[in-house]
């Protein structure tokens, strides 16, 4: 969700849930498995968005343990 408060000032709101992060991570690893890929790259800004993107990164890391043949970066 995003909107322009005043001209030149944009505010964005991103809602993250563990369930949806798990869904995205599982899809990525299943896709990699199905298509013979060796690596999944999790794109995030966890250094800036510590809670939301931190959750996503943690879920991706946890999910990667279920797919030992696929590297995560």
Position 2 scores a pLDDT of 87
Res 28 pLDDT > 90: yes
In the chain, DSSP assigns E strands to 2-6, 9-12, 39-40, 71-72
Q: Tell me whether strands 71-72 and 39-40 are parallel, antiparallel or unpaired.
A: parallel
| Residue pLDDT, tens place only, 3-16 | 899 999 999 899 99
Instruction: For the chain, give every domain's residue range.
Output: 16-72
- 2 vs 54 pLDDT, higher one: 54
Using DSSP, how many helices (H) and how many strands (E) does the chain show?
Answer: 2, 4
Mean pLDDT, to the nearest integer, of 31-51? 96
**Predicted structure pTM score:** 0.86
What average pLDDT does the chain have? Answer: 96
């Amino acid at each position: 969700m995003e909107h322009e408060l005043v001209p030149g000032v944009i505010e964005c709101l991103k809602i993250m849930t563990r369930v949806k992060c798990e869904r995205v991570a599982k899809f990525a690893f299943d896709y990699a498995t199905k298509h013979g890929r060796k690596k999944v790259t999790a794109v995030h800004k966890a250094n800036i968005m510590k809670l939301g993107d931190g959750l996503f990164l943690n879920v991706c890391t946890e999910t990667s343990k279920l797919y030992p043949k696929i590297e995560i970066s």
